[in-house]
């Protein structure tokens, strides 16, 4: 069983208004272009009619309504071009947080602004909170076109291990003040409760020529059969082959790939379960929470 599966589920869903706003923000480019084209036709027709009306007859409800339609469609078309065809693809985009995988840094129902321009001129860095397209194996039934947001833990060339609730990068322990543990209701646990939270260890291992995530309980050398999870496609392997996978030496993050984990370490279905993300699937860096107003802050 995947030890993160029960915690990968989102709590009660957002309101219909929130979902509508999120759908608009994700509107496919083809729909944006089609909508702008329709509104442009409406705007041209209303403009031509308004021009045909003699100045001394330009009054009344009908003329006022057409003038409003002309001005409104003009503004919407320009806004659509600027926001959806320039700002969203190349600049910034808003994202809705639907789950608790980043508690306490990001909470359910937060809205964040992601900077999509920054990684056109620089590479992602350790500790960045990043929006990305997840591997297919990370998506659950019904999720569809879903973006993930996690913290960047490993960049190309890093040797990453998670042992006894401690992150090791290139053999050295990493201080992670942002990490939390939660109960099933996403309440943050006191640090005194953390030792009682079950948590599998993790490493990357090369399996059949591929770098795959491996989770295990305890000391592999003394208990090689205590398997938590090896990527799903290998879950049905025979015990001997499973032991070989678990006893394989940890390997480094390959070129062009990145490893992510959630700040809520026992409540995040992340790279420990589904592996690595290619550079091409990285969307942008989270910069700040802009809604709700009480949560305004930079995300670091």
**Could you list the active site residues?**
101, 150
* DSSP H or E segment with residue 24: helix 16-25
The alpha carbons of the chain give a radius of gyration, in whole angstroms, of 25
Q: Name the 3-class secondary structure at 112.
A: strand
Instruction: Give Cβ neighbours of residue 132 (< 8 Å, ≥ 6 apart).
Output: 147, 148, 149, 150, 258, 260, 277, 281, 282, 283
Which one-letter DSSP state was computed for residue 189? P
Q: Could you give the angle at the alpha carbon of 14 between the alpha carbons of 12 and 17, nearest 5°?
A: 155
Contact 216, 278 (CB under 8 A): no
Distances (CA, A) of 260 to 123, 132, 200, 253: 15, 10, 16, 11
Name which of 108, 114, 82, 117 is nearest 95 in CA terms. 114
Question: Residue 28's Cα: distance from chain center in Å?
Answer: 18
């Amino acid at each position: 069983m995947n030890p993160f599966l029960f915690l990968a589920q989102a709590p009660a869903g957002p309101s219909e208004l929130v979902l509508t706003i999120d759908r608009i923000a994700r509107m496919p480019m083809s729909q944006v272009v089609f909508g702008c084209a329709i509104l442009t036709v409406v705007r041209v027709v209303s403009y031509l009619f308004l021009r045909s009306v003699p100045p001394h007859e330009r009054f009344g409800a009908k003329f006022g309504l057409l003038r409003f339609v002309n001005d409104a469609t003009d503004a919407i078309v320009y806004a659509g071009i600027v926001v959806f065809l320039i700002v969203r693809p190349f600049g910034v985009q808003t994202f809705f947080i639907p789950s608790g995988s980043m508690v306490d840094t990001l909470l359910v129902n937060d809205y964040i602004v992601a900077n999509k321009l920054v990684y056109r001129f620089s590479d992602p860095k350790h500790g960045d909170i990043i929006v990305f397209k997840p591997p297919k194996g990370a998506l659950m039934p019904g999720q569809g076109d879903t973006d993930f947001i996690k913290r960047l833990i490993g960049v190309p060339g890093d040797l990453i291990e998670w042992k006894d609730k401690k992150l090791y990068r290139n053999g050295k322990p990493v201080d992670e003040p942002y990490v939390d543990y939660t109960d099933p209701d996403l309440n943050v646990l006191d640090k005194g409760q953390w030792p009682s939270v079950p948590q599998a260890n993790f490493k990357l291992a090369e399996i059949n020529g591929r770098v795959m995530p491996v989770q295990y309980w305890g000391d592999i050398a003394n208990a090689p059969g205590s398997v938590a999870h090896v990527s799903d496609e290998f879950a049905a392997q025979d015990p001997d082959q499973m032991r070989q996978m678990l006893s394989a030496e940890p390997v480094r993050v390959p070129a062009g790939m990145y490893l992510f984990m959630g700040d809520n370490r026992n409540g995040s279905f992340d790279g420990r379960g589904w592996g690595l993300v290619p550079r091409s699937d990285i969307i942008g860096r989270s910069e700040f929470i802009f809604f709700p107003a009480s949560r305004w802050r930079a995300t670091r």
